Chain A
Amino acid sequence: MIPVMETVTMLCSFLFSYFLLFVWLPSLFIRFEEESSSRLDKLFISLTHSTLFYMIIVHLLIGVRLLETITLFAITIGCIVLLSRYYSRSESISRSMKILTALFDLTEDREQWKIELRRLIKHLRDKSLLQLQEGKQAIIKQPILISAFLLVFSVAMIDRFRYSFTHLSFASSDSYVHLGWSKYLSNMTIYLDGVYPYGFESIIATIYDMFGMDMYVIVRFMGALTVLLMMLSLVYALRRMIGKDYKTILLTVFLLFFSSSMMIGNSVILWRQLSALSMEFATIFLFPGITFFYLFFKTNKRTYLLLAAECYAITAFTHPFVAVTLTLAFVAVGIAYLRKLLINKTWIRILIYMGVAGFIGILPPLIGLLMGKPFHGSSLNYIKGEFISNGSIPVLETLSIFANEQLFITIMYICLIIYFIGWFIYRHLYRDREWSVTDQAPIVMAAIFLILMVIIYLSPELGLPSIVPVDRQPVFLSMSAALLFGIGFGSFIKYFKGEKLRSRLQVLGCSVLMLWVLFVPGQKVDFPQGDRHQYDESIRAYLDIKGNYPLKNWDVISPVDELGLIQGYGYHTELWEFVRNIEDSDKKLIEFKTSYVFLFVEKVPIDIANEDIRPISLQDAESSFPVVTTGLLTEFYYGDIQNRRILQAKAYYWAEDYMKNNNDIKVFLDTPNMKIYEIYQGKDTVTLTKKKQVTSK
């Protein structure tokens, strides 16, 4: 059903396109600080610059109605040229002159280019060999640690990519929305369903426009890629804050992505990680944002403040909840570096940077609202609904319940208190300079950040205004808990003198915690079920039709979920409209402007709630056509299982009946869940007559 090779090809092309555009290409033209030249630095610095760059460019181009492949390429190439010119401005000979002279040299000395080529190949070979050698040395030095890292990352990735490999459909409903919006955005239609931050959509549209990749492929794998980058962002943050303590980093990553304790026992977090969602995408920049801000205080380099501001702008561009979380994280970092914040009016500089960044991020929705576009309806209702607070439970009781529920966090804070007592004694009794106050900034920052996240998490119970909806809070709470755990564990272990002892303790700690998560029941989060909007067969059929039939010459009759996929390649007719037409006795002809028409019918209609799963019946087909009275049309016809059943049954029995009397229809696909019919009349258009008669092909 799902060819592995096809999936692997899709995944590889997506990953290649994404990394090429957002990481590899920018990293060739960005000048990195001396202390920021590791692979992870290059990854996140490039990613931050390029993501914000394309978000701004896409919005600007839409503003002037010029978003398309050519403009994106032209701007990319233009910027690369300007950047390389800027960096090579001190060189005496321009690059174009160098190319010209190289061309002339090439024509004069036929052997020279071979020598140059050989030199280049040798250089590349030596470089790769050196890297291999380094890798080999690292494996020899720490085989268990590296294997464990690979294992944890592989299992986490397999876990997240498994859904993309075993399903053609998306894991959640929001992915369909993002797909649709991205397609409209690519066609320069912004805020179609109301004002909503389109940062995520602009990234999807950029990949689609620049690589000509089907957006379906991008959305199918984007969720899992987001998780990979989130994992790496945690590694990056810890690496920059606690140093090369890879055992601690490994343990933290493992806990964050596998343990229900760290995930606050919420399987929705896992569910969200399987889907292409804007909040998760923005979350990639949460840890890098914190890290850059931390590095700014540590090094006093403006570059890091700029990077932190860029991360802030990205989150503001993409998802307000992440932007709010990052603001709180910045507050935590600011408190940890209070003394530095207050000297030389640093705080003013920070305010200016962050103010501008935030303003850039919220500018497009602001313009949308000023132009009279309404706020995205369901998002607004959702926020309103989620923001209601109970505010009836006393503070201490609330905290006590939380401490009991979130034992992991409670233990961390107990350890933290012990740690700080120990640190205080060490510092003052032994006057050990190694235990300076500034060294404690990361752990202080992480502790404050977690406290703030706990307050947000408990805001409904505490009667405080909830700035992040209740069901999203666990995502950020788990991430802040992971950050504190990593930094805390890393700092705690430094208490112990002697490398061997430290290493043994770390191995012991890692082993115990990992085994605990793996083997203690209830510690691993299970994948939730439900929230299916489409059968895989439906997507299979779409891919086959797209691949084998002339583009823009076919029309698919189906529920709204296929609409986003089909746009750009063919046409889509809503199933409810089609059924209404076949039911309408006044309508004698149903006309389509394409040569081919495909009717998608679910023999077992999809129930999004996963409760009513049974085949359609004649009784359903004989029910009267549901007439929408209130709410969203698509929600009424397809969200309501009974209405969906009626539509599918009517379409199915109509097609079966039509097939008995006409030979211009054939079955394109037939599975236990679905039946797809193909209608072709050998002409440029398809006309369905209500009168039953045999038509010749």
Chain B
Amino acid sequence: MHTIILPIQEIVKQPSLESVLDEVLEKHQNPEDRHEIAAILESLGWNDIRAREIFGVADVFELADILWERCSSKVMYTTFSKVERLSFHEMTMLLIRQFLRGVIFAVPMAISVVCMLTLKYSLWSYENLSVELATSIAIGTILSFVTVGGFTQAIARRGFFYIIQGYYNMARRITFHFIRLGFLVCLLICAAILILNLVIKVFPVDMLVVIILYFFFLNTIWLSVTVMYILKKELLFTGLIIVGIVVVFILFSVLNVNIIVSQLIALSLVSIISMILVIYLFKKAELKEEKGISPQLPKMSVTLFSTLPYYIYGTLYFAFLFIDRIVAWTRNSDFMPYLIWFRGEYELGLDFALLVLILPMGISEVVLTKMMMDIEISQKSYWGDETQIMNRKFFSVYVRRLLQIFLTAVISAGLLYWMLVELFANFPSLSTKSLFTSSETYLVFIVSLIAYILVAVALMNAVILFSLSQPDFAVRAIWISLLVNMGSGFLLSRWIDYHYAVFGLLLGSIVFLYLSTKEVVRVLHNLDYYLYAAS
């Protein structure tokens, strides 16, 4: 056996073709062509003489040719870096947390309903208001939801984006930027309402003042709630609502102050405290952030462009939820004095039906978290040619989740109905306005109950689309649904009776469910592509 023994010095100095190639690839993992390799070689100190001496080639270009051939034939494999699966305990805790998170968000609504039934008032409603005042408060409230809806979505999207990455400073800056924009829009709307009312005498000044004050304070509250939500301090808001109701109780029931004044004082107090709390919470959260990390925010036009679909969705979503009320209340029967005339019977049916969303909202959080985690974990377990299998698997997962949510919503509706029947049967003194004494309220309640079941499912679809960064699909679905809701409700309320506007909500919900499901199915059939696009 003939062996060549080289001096130690030579063994060390003489590189192999493989090591040279590695060196080149370290500089650029995917060289464009052999010329680029030649350039890299020269940058690494290779010249024609050295190449000739070591590898016996004519020049660097010949060496580059050899390396290019090797590089091209080299198949690169990377190992899966599998995401660690959570333990059963961890998973259970996470899901319970998510469920509570979803439910807690609806707790203030439940508290308000309980207060209405027991005290006859809450932070921004009162059972014995005159129609004028009820109209004003209803308009202020609806307007606040629709105005702020877009901003809450934008804040949630952008704020979460930075918070998840630990950039609390950026999250704070972008969040307050949106809050400022929210206030600006709110003030602009107030000014527009005032100017418009000068031209078009929609409401008298006293009603207008109530509308604007409720609108402004509720706007402030909703904006701060969103921040509390992204900072995972939902309970704080529930506490603030309770504080607000206590203030109303003291002022109205103990000190006999006018209900509107009491509520406005409480609302202003809650808004100020919540805004201060939001600033404090962010300051506190920023302390978690590593010192010295304070990158620039992206260009505002870029931020706006990327969050615009979420903003539009938020606005359209709240418009979808409330448009049937506006449609019903604007139905002119027997010479209506104003453009909008509050109808308590309609409101009552919808308010009770809205409670059906509490349970599905909690379940939805769980289902979605689980599904998105599964997708995140499993996607890397499939080969490139197994995308169809992955897509099919997640489609079937989605169908199961859809059914789960639907069943939860149906059960929730059944429970709610049973509870209300029991409530009004056993405690008739709870409210002078029972669900079951007015045929209009009853019809509205039943139809809206069905509609909200469908909305609950459709909302899950929308959140799936958001999770896969496809807000445009959600926007398209809700936009058409809103038009159907508005159009059909308008015609039915005008041609039959005002409370038939609720069928608009039902039709809109059916369309929302259908379109959103269609969009999700479309996305899931091409999940690989959308996962790639989302990344």
Contacts and interface: CB of A to CB of B under 8 A. Distances in A.
A17 interface: yes
A108 B336 contact: no
B121 to A, nearest CB: 20
Pick the most buried of B199, B334, B490, B491: most chain A CB atoms within 10 A of its CB: B199
B151 to A, nearest CB: 15
Contacts of A20: 199
B11 interface: no
Interface string A151-194: 00000000000000000000000000000000100010000000
B332 interface: yes
Nearest to B304: A107
A212 B330 contact: no
Interface string A3-18: 0000000000100110
30 contacts: A13-B201, A17-B199, A17-B200, A20-B199, A65-B494, A65-B495, A66-B491, A68-B330, A68-B332, A69-B330, A69-B339, A70-B339, A70-B490, A103-B304, A104-B301, A105-B301, A107-B301, A108-B301, A187-B332, A187-B334, A211-B199, A211-B200, A211-B201, A212-B200, A212-B201, A212-B202, A550-B130, A550-B132, A551-B338, A569-B335
Contacts of B338: 212, 551
A298 to B, nearest CB: 39
A569 B337 contact: yes
A567 interface: yes
Given A20-B199, A211-B200, A212-B202, A568 B335 contact: yes
A532 interface: no
B490 to A, nearest CB: 7
Interface in A127-152: none
A590 B493 CA distance: 35
Interface residues of B, number: 24
A5 B335 CA distance: 28
A568 B202 CA distance: 14
B253 to A, nearest CB: 22
Contacts, number: 56
Interface of A: 13, 16-17, 20, 65-66, 68-70, 103-105, 107-108, 183, 187, 210-213, 550-552, 567-569
Nearest to B339: A69
Contact of A187 (B299, B305, B335, B339): B335
B181 to A, nearest CB: 9
Contact of A107 (B202, B300, B490, B494): B300
Contacts of B301: 104-105, 107-108
B426 to A, nearest CB: 29
Contacts of B200: 17, 210-212
A552 B341 CA distance: 11
Interface in B367-426: none
Nearest to B299: A108
A-B complex: 10 closest residue pairs judged by Cβ atoms:
A568-B335, A107-B300, A104-B301, A212-B201, A551-B337, A211-B200, A108-B301, A567-B335, A107-B301, A69-B339
Contacts of A104: 301, 304-305
Given A107-B304, A212-B201, 12 more contacts: A68-B330, A69-B330, A70-B330, A107-B301, A108-B301, A187-B332, A187-B335, A210-B200, A212-B339, A213-B201, A551-B337, A569-B337
A182 to B, nearest CB: 12
A107 B132 CA distance: 40
A571 to B, nearest CB: 10
B266 to A, nearest CB: 25
Contacts of B337: 551-552, 568-569
A105 B200 CA distance: 32
A552 B333 CA distance: 12
A184 to B, nearest CB: 9
Nearest to A551: B337
A77 to B, nearest CB: 13
A66 B132 CA distance: 24
Interface in B446-501: 490-491, 494-495
B336 A568 contact: yes
Contacts of A550: 130, 132
Nearest to B198: A13
B300 A108 contact: yes
A65 B132 CA distance: 26
Contacts of A187: 332, 334-335
Contacts of A107: 300-301, 304
Contacts of B335: 183, 187, 567-569
Nearest to B491: A66
Nearest to B335: A568
A404 B334 CA distance: 57
A573 to B, nearest CB: 15
Interface in B177-224: 199-202
B199 to A, nearest CB: 7
A567 B338 CA distance: 13
A17 B202 CA distance: 13
Pick the most buried of A17, A105, A107, A187: most chain B CB atoms within 10 A of its CB: A107
